[in-house]
Amino acid sequence: MIILKNVNIIDENSRVTAVEIGIDKGKISELGKCVNVEGAQILDCGGKLLMPGFIDAHVHLREPGFEEKETIRTGTMAAAAGGYTTVMPMPNLRPVPDKPEVMKEYVAKIDSDKVVNVLPYASITEGEKGKELVDMKSLLQLGAVAFSDDGVGVQSSEIMREAMKKAAELGTMIVAHTEDNSLKNAGSVHQGEYAEKMGWRGIPSACEYAQVERDIELVRETGCKYHICHVSTKETIDFVRKAKKEGLKVSCEITPHHLTLIDEDVKDGNGKMNPPLRSREDREALIEAIKDGTADIVATDHAPHTSEEKARGVEKAPFGIVGLETAFAVLYTKLVKTGVISLKRLQEVMAEVPAQLFGLSNTGKIKTGYDADLVLVDIDEEYVIDPERFKSMGKNTPYGGEKVFGKVLWTMVGGKVIYDVR
């Protein structure tokens, strides 16, 4: 048995409260004043803040197929270093997990190499080519958490309708990368004044929200559970807000970078991501959506690339930045310390709501009977983000050199400390 002493949590009334926590057989067994048990391991938490382990519903671990960028091992080590205890990797891999035999091998590799809990997506269509649906039932039985053609999106309305009908029948979720390729314009950044000033080709907001509008109409028709990846535009937020008011099963995620940066912050390849950083007005709409619950969760879209790829410049570099090791500190520093959202709300969007949304009934809260998936943070410690110290193979971040608060001290999965810098 483990007893956590001298520790604070955020209680149901959003107050920071001192408690003691008992952990037995990987689960939280006691919460309150724990009686010392002979032989128990005592962990003194130094009066720091304990939170439920963070859950990231959108990461790229790159393996199999792109091991020069990241592996299951390094990506989950990065997750642990960022306080994440569960991650959900996207299926744009080589081979794509679109068939039972591929998924079996993929899950076996995950199980052998993972440091944190890993719940993989399967693709919606074979090879993410947008033409033939996968055998969803078989892939669910083999461990798929949901279905996504992330990176490309489903361009055909009819294929998406078929996918939603099947997902509704099976009680699973479609997790959509919403991008109308006919509107992408071979762009690199947000289409606006800054792109014009810099001479870069821009991606219009309609590239995202046009497909969201299409898909919500299909949700209305099929009753499917539908989750929108990396929302970046104010128009998408408007569609989601209306869909929720209508009672449709629509949810969405926003990344830390879309909540804290705008198009004018793009200086080099490390500021290039898809969807791109948008306007100040878009960011304000995203923040409001986090505040009022229109946006359900934060997800990093952790997307490692090699330094050589990102050094090619804004127009030639691949899309994507890493985020697992910076998410909490960036959001705590820029949104909580500035009074934009509460610490409780940050805990909700990083842990509690992702667990609820994806049906993870034994994690996401500090509660008796729940898995001891926990992170201890020092919200008062200031440090400088140094990409060279990342556990991730990817160093591609726009936050390098920034001073932030909120250092992860240790991360625990199933009652076992898997990361510790004390």
User: Which one-letter DSSP state was computed for residue 240?
Assistant: H
Catalytic residue among 149, 282, 301, 371: 301
3-state secondary structure 7-46: EEEECCCCCEEEEEEEEECCEEEEEECCCCCCCCEEEECC
Beta carbons of 258 and 230 less than 8 angstroms apart: yes
Assess contact for 70 and 63: CB atoms under 8 A. Answer: yes
- Torsion angle of alpha carbons 314, 320, 326, 329, nearest 10°? 80
Report if pTM > 0.95.
yes
Question: Measured on CA atoms in the order 393, 394, 397, 400, is the torsion positive or negative?
Answer: positive
Count of Cβ atoms closer than 10 Å to residue 137 Cβ: 13
Euclidean distance between CA atoms 308 and 315, whole angstroms = 14
Q: Is the peptide bond before 256 cis (omega within 30 degrees of 0)?
A: no
Domains and CATH numbers, the chain: 2-49+371-420 (2.30.40.10), 53-357 (3.20.20.140)
**Number of residues that make up the chain:** 422
Query: What span, in angstroms and rounded, lies between the C-alpha atoms of 385 and 403?
Result: 6
Query: Catalytic site residue 135?
Result: no
Q: ∠58-373-322 over CA atoms, to 5°?
A: 30
Name the 3-class secondary structure at 237.
helix
Low-confidence ranges of the chain (pLDDT < 50): none
Q: What pLDDT shows up at residue 18?
A: 93
Backbone angles phi, psi at 355, to 5 degrees: -60, -45
Location of structure tokens 């009066």: 47
Radius of gyration, alpha carbons of the chain:
21
Least Cα distance to 3 among 22, 16, 25 occurs for 22
404 - beta bridge partners? 383
How big, in percent rounded to 5, are the helix, strand and coil portions of the chain? 35, 25, 45
Helical H runs in 182-279? Answer: 193-198, 206-222, 234-246, 256-260
Instruction: State the pairing for strand pair 403-413/416-420.
Output: antiparallel
Task: Give the residue among 330, 351, 347 at the shortest CA–CA distance from 406.
Answer: 330
